[in-house]
A = this chain, B = another copy of it.
Amino acid sequence: MKGFAMLGIGKTGWIEKERPACGPLDAICRPIVLAPCTSDVHTVWEGALGDRHDMILGHETVAEVVEVGSLVKDFKPGDKVIVPAITPDWNSIEAQDGYQMHSGGMLAGWKFSNFKDGVFGEFFHVNDADGNLAILPDGMDPVAACMLADMVPTGFHGVELADIQFGDSVVVVGIGPVGLMAVAGAALRGASHIYAVGSRPNCIQIAKEYGATDIIDYHNGDIAEQVIKKTGGKGVDRVVIAGGNVDTFAQAVTMLKPGGRIGNVNYLGEGEFIKIPRIEWGCGMGHKIIAGGLMPGGRLRMEKLASLMSTGRLDAGKLVTHRFEGFDKIEEALMLMKEKPKDLIKPVVVIKW
């Protein structure tokens, strides 16, 4: 079978591989909709995961089941499914402890395009099909549903990590696709003021549609100062970090009230340390909790988030700004992600077999 792969750091290309084998609990699927992710870009061109050779990329897809293992009960060939980016080993110690995304080791619930071939192949392998696939609901647009693989659960997890409560004021740093889902998630969790940090006009427009009440543009000065000014010196209850870098945390701590929480879902690709400013963190005593975590995956998570789309609470389809047709367009879509033109939020590739 064909797959679009990382050949080595900085290099991509089409390769031939054997179709993956299906264990007793597994499924083999083929993609219907695919989306490249900024992580794929980091993986290839920044070597974020270290070197990988001939590893098929991709971890965002809606797909069709083509084969299932002998112990799979709830899925069969022909089923259309949402496939989460994170596919845990559910019986692992870590999953039993509530941290399925770290099953088998920190971040090791993330398998596609990390420890094994990803979804940019004619076929791909899903471990524990019953535990990790979710039926695409009747009538749901698979293009919008493809955002459930990573963008929605990651953005929403930022909201969960920040533990937003009714009426909280919230800053969302970064309004790329994950940040926009954090804005939508914050609104859907009962935030009042949502200060969205970003500057691209397209993203600002969508951020407002998802519930941002104020836009903070870093071109206008330090974002912490802007937030503090806008809140009359008080700062905000919660900060979700969905963009920036290791230095963003200093701003986040500064703009946060005592008793506040930071929820980070931004993959920090470089820098040795995240630096927490001592004074602003209350000399260690300010109750400004700093949390950061990989999205939870698996079947239930997909079903729950899909239900928000089927009941009209969330329209994740708005994220999709560019649409390609045909399996061979994966390369073009990924390159677009790499170049990141101003009007891009998220590209998808739609496949007809």
Contact = CB atoms under 8 A, between A and B. Distances in A.
B100 A304 contact: no
B167 A308 contact: yes
A43 interface: no
A188 interface: yes
B286 A289 contact: no
Interface stretch (A7-15, A199-207, A271-279, A323-331): A271-279
Given A99-B287, A264-B285, A273-B273, 9 more contacts: A24-B71, A91-B130, A102-B282, A211-B313, A267-B284, A268-B281, A275-B276, A276-B290, A281-B292
Interface string A299-323: 1110111111011010000000000
By CB atoms of chain B within 10 A, which of A92, A264, A278 has the most?
A: A278
A34 interface: no
B189 A166 contact: yes
A310 to B, nearest CB: 7
A282 B246 contact: no
A269 interface: yes
A18 interface: no
Given A71-B24, A160-B166, A102 B287 contact: yes
Contacts of A96: 90, 100, 131, 298-301
Given A106-B282, A285-B107, A99 B258 contact: yes
Interface string A135-176: 000000000000000000000100010000111110000000
A268 B278 contact: yes
A259 B289 contact: no
A197 interface: no
A14 B269 CA distance: 56
B259 A99 contact: yes
Contacts of A185: 166, 190
Interface residues of A, number: 90
B278 A276 contact: no
Given A190-B188, A192-B310, A304-B168, A285 B278 contact: no
A229 B290 CA distance: 27
Contact of A102 (B187, B193, B286): B286
Interface string A212-228: 01000000000000000
A35 interface: no
A282 B101 CA distance: 12
A158 to B, nearest CB: 11
Contacts of A25: 71
Interface in A95-111: 95-102, 105-107
Contacts of A47: none
Nearest to A280: B106
Contact of A307 (B193, B290, B305): B193
B285 A292 contact: yes
A182 interface: no
